[in-house]
Chains A and B, each alone.
Chain A
Amino acid sequence: MTSERREVSNIIVNQLAESEISLVASLPDDWVADLIKVVEIDDRFIHVPVNREESAVGLCSGTYFSKTYSAAVMGASGMLTCIYAITKINYTYEIPMFFLVSMRGAIGDTAKYQISNGIYFLDVLDTIGFPYKVIESREQLLEIPRVHRHSRVYSRPSAVILSREVLNGET
């Protein structure tokens, strides 16, 4: 973990707190691993590690029926496994939810096993009419509360998609 990466993780958790989010469900992708470690030790959040990304969809959707705002942190591969859960729960019942997702497979990702995400991930979100904001610079992290709020206006989920460069503190 570099100091730049930790600095970015700290900015993100502060934006989550700014969004009044108090519960974070997560399943790690290595690009968001440091963020998850920071959430775990930050007592502003209840951190719930899940063992299947769809469980985060169920859990965070349930928190809607309370004053608890929540977020789900995962990689692009994990979010792709959630498509049915999202369309079933969040679209059928019109329940808001907020995702923070790493943009795996994009240019700059050296992992060949992530390439399919780079090819299909955003297209899949577009196909189901899923609103998201790709964050590629540190300054844009300040948009997290706005994207979170949009899910409440839209009564469906929204996502912030985080680039490798921003998560590594390079931009």
Chain B
Amino acid sequence: MTMNLHDTFAYMVSRWTDELVVTSAGHSSGTWWDLTHDRDQVFYLTASMSLSSMFASGIAVGNPGVNVWAMSGDGAFVMNPGMLFVERKMNLPNLTHFMVSNRCYGSTEEVDIAFSEHADYATLARGAGIDRVYSFNSLEEFKDQFDEAVIAEGHTFIVLNVERVGKEVRTASMDGPEVKFRFGRYVEERTGQTIFNVLP
């Protein structure tokens, strides 16, 4: 059993308050944009080839009072599962990593991930030493455990097993510097830090 990505993200959006969000390539980015049209609290990190959770970790370690949600897809995840060891080493209490598993490369016409039938991503995460690991196959189950899995403090890795979308979902139409400045200005306002035009 798997979940519908749009419905799953719609529920997350309904529970989303002040968390910074970093999206990954493909459907997570497009679906989050489609649901929120947010240009400030979200960094649309497209086509990073597995680096969204590392990028989010950098944001989280520098902003300890701010919760950060990182999205990745299993296509990206299998390129760099070693990210789990780095996440475990950092063990950031304000980082939640949502790994959207649809067993395909969603941004490239949903070509199958060749070995996905053998992959147990939650077990991989536990094997990396991460304590708070969840895997959801139904939206009801996700809703029931959302407070425990997402709202409670602690570095968390969450597998969202979702259906394929079956169509292209376009992400925000912004050039890179616009994404940087809008997100950075939001962080500046939120935290009182000056990010731009500061030299060491």
Q: Chain A: residues with CB nearer than 8 A to chain B?
A: 19-21, 23, 46, 48-52, 54-70, 84-85, 88-89, 92-95, 145, 148-149, 152-153
Contacts and interface: CB of A to CB of B under 8 A. Distances in A.
A20 B195 CA distance: 14
Contacts, number: 121
B185 to A, nearest CB: 10
A56 B50 CA distance: 12
What size tier do the contact residues of chain B reach?
35 or more
A48 B60 CA distance: 14
A149 B200 contact: yes
A152 B200 contact: yes
Contact of A62 (B49, B62, B82): B62
Interface of B: 22, 43, 45, 47-63, 80, 82-83, 85-86, 89-90, 176-177, 179-180, 183-184, 187, 191, 193-195, 198-200
Contacts of A145: 200
A59 B62 contact: no
A61 B195 contact: no
A64 B181 CA distance: 12
Given A20-B200, A55-B80, A149-B200, A68 B89 contact: no
Contacts of A69: 200
A95 B183 CA distance: 12
Contacts of A59: 54-55, 57-58, 61, 86
B85 A65 contact: no
A92 B175 CA distance: 8
A64 B195 contact: yes
A55 B62 CA distance: 16
24 contacts: A20-B200, A48-B89, A48-B90, A50-B54, A58-B48, A58-B51, A58-B57, A59-B54, A59-B55, A59-B61, A62-B22, A62-B58, A65-B187, A66-B59, A66-B61, A66-B62, A66-B191, A67-B194, A85-B51, A89-B55, A93-B177, A145-B200, A152-B198, A152-B199
